[in-house]
Structure 1
């Protein structure tokens, strides 16, 4: 049990499982996994039965997952039999045209949303990450990197802008070069705590991991000076243990965070807009030409920016669109499933005849 506690297992977790066969996923590379039980690391793959019973991509192991395994100790290999229920999971729409969910990290307590203090600071993108973090079940913290490359006035201006759209979310400015802000950041990384680092390419996630670990474990590259755009360095998801006993999950940079779900987290992420909307004269107010619209009033007197409100509307539309796509996909899958069942039944009938 002590070995698993060091890996982030909470004593409030499911106590009915056999602790001797529990391990945690620390690396995912396509269909290959690396797991640890606190004493030894194993290269792992899912069992044939697991593959047959998996219904969707969400069923497969992700970094941070607790899994039941069959250990082949002499070979340092393991077979993953089952994924234990997750207490949190950061899910996004996978890149591409196909409607597929992708788990970025699981069972994290906190998500560090990393952005750099250069002209790539994007408030609308931060709103997306905050929304997805709340929806994941974890707590968001915004980390602004490369503090050493900016003046004090620029840093304060950036923090003020982020504070306006991240209501109630801690914002920490750090420098991996000078070490500024790292002590404050460590307050959100206590021993046994699991943290996921999320953000675009080139914002300094891997550099931050190296700095916190005190050694070069992740490859890093600079950004293009012309536009401050990052280059992909981390190619897979991996969990590391920091010297103080906290666990940190580094993830590949995302060019764009496509939402999967988040409808239930809109009121937390956009609590300012939701508050104004709740005070409108009409409960079905569209915030267009209706009299007594508190949203339009807030926009007019500057208490709410047009950019913030338009982002709110855009994310609502996007979530509604994704929900429709997922419903259509689920209906098609159910139809195909029954077609296959009918086909199998006909084949069995012919064999009996």
Structure 2
């Protein structure tokens, strides 16, 4: 297997030289599990761990490797290696870390396209799709929406669902497929290009693992039947993994996500809710929050139906999450800075002391 099959190109070669990494082996992280990694290189696959220095100097989770990363490493036997550096990323898909205020969780890196997978049964949720769109747009990753399990509903219901989706989301390709009947699968395969990296996003049970198996024409990913109790697909993926497709594309499968917390990134919200931002330019006040202000063009557009009410409410909720996350990060940085000053003062006092 050539490294080019995993997306290696002239741009990565340039990054290798610019970062003075010619003496190191370059590989791509294809699997991550509890800070243990599998990295593919021209010499094959290696288990890898990070150096103590990399762990010590890391300021945030962003400084650690993630699936999709290109890394510089040294092999110390036939199966094991040590990661010394993560090469600069072209993109990073991330969300708020669950239960950790002010921190982020990296979903995957160096992604070209994201497949936002939604099942068309009772779990279908446009608000959730807008959340996925926002984290994709924040990192300039091209999103595509996949409506899976269309065999579970009739054609009229599917058309109604598609119309509702298009009213709120524009300029994003939508593919309606069935992993059972294979309807729409060939059209999806046709858009996958050699050397490009695609990432699967979606809740548990929407059929991501089954879709991977179809795209690879294998049974790489474990799947389970629909639960008799909930009538939903059962979640099976437990880790992130990068997989090669038959046509040369590269796909990253992810565990299902119940929460898609919005972190920093005004651009992501602006691109996802482009209509709202266009109307906001007409607001009377530049710092309009679009909630209670007189002369708010956004509220006026909602009232006359130019902006969808549900989309507007979803936007306000996500904007509030983003603002809270950014204020939390700023507060943590302030505390860290004050703590650093206190440590420095203590050291100076200790040096000047006679005792």
Tell whether 2:203 aligns with 1:214. no
Report the counterpart of residue 9 of structure 2 in structure 1: 10
Aligned ranges 1:17-96 → 2 under 5 Å: 17-18=21-22, 21-72=25-76, 74-96=77-99
Alpha-carbon offset, residue 305 of structure 1: 1.9
CA RMSD of aligned residues (A): 2.3
Describe the SS at the equivalent of 1:90.
Answer: strand
Alpha-carbon offset, residue 280 of structure 1: 3.7
Task: Tell me, in whole angstroms, the C-alpha distance in 2 between the residues paired with 1:168 and 1:299.
Answer: 21
1:25–1:63 contact (8 Å) kept in structure 2 = yes
Structure 2: segments with no counterpart, 5+ residues: none
Alpha-carbon offset, residue 283 of structure 1: 4.1
Task: Tell me, in whole angstroms, the C-alpha distance in 1 between the residues paired with 2:262 and 2:292.
Answer: 30
Q: Note closer, same or farther for the CA distance 1:34–1:344 as it changes in structure 2 (3 Å cut).
A: farther
Describe the SS at the equivalent of 1:12.
Answer: helix
Alpha-carbon offset, residue 36 of structure 1: 0.4
Q: Note closer, same or farther for the CA distance 1:50–1:344 as it changes in structure 2 (3 Å cut).
A: farther
Among candidates 237, 254, 276, match of residue 240 of structure 2:
237
Report the counterpart of residue 157 of structure 1 in structure 2: 160
Report the counterpart of residue 319 of structure 2 in structure 1: 316
Q: TM-score, normalised by structure 2?
A: 0.91
Aligned ranges 1:224-263 → 2 under 5 Å: 224=227, 229-263=232-266
2:101–2:328 contact (8 Å) kept in structure 1 = no
Alpha-carbon offset, residue 186 of structure 1: 2.0
Tell whether 2:129 aligns with 1:146. no
Alpha-carbon offset, residue 301 of structure 1: 2.8
Q: TM-score, normalised by structure 1?
A: 0.91
Report the counterpart of residue 187 of structure 1 in structure 2: 190
Task: Tell me, in whole angstroms, the C-alpha distance in 2 between the residues paired with 1:245 and 1:228.
Answer: 35
1:167–1:269 contact (8 Å) kept in structure 2 = no
Alpha-carbon offset, residue 133 of structure 1: 0.5
Task: Tell me, in whole angstroms, the C-alpha distance in 1 between the residues paired with 2:26 and 2:280.
Answer: 47
Q: In terms of mean alpha carbon deviation, does 124-133 or 227-236 score higher?
A: 227-236
Among candidates 288, 304, 308, match of residue 301 of structure 1:
304
Task: Tell me, in whole angstroms, the C-alpha distance in 2 between the residues paired with 1:286 and 1:98.
Answer: 24
Q: Note closer, same or farther for the CA distance 1:154–1:59 as it changes in structure 2 (3 Å cut).
A: same
Among candidates 324, 331, 334, match of residue 331 of structure 1:
334
Task: Tell me, in whole angstroms, the C-alpha distance in 2 between the residues paired with 1:181 and 1:297.
Answer: 40
Q: Which digits, 9 at most, give the CA deviation of each residue in 1:252-278, with x for residues without a partner? A: 101111112231222210011112222
Q: Note closer, same or farther for the CA distance 1:288–1:7 as it changes in structure 2 (3 Å cut).
A: closer
Task: Tell me, in whole angstroms, the C-alpha distance in 1 between the residues paired with 2:272 and 2:199.
Answer: 19
Alpha-carbon offset, residue 213 of structure 1: 0.9
Tell whether 2:138 aligns with 1:131. no
Report the counterpart of residue 109 of structure 2 in structure 1: 106
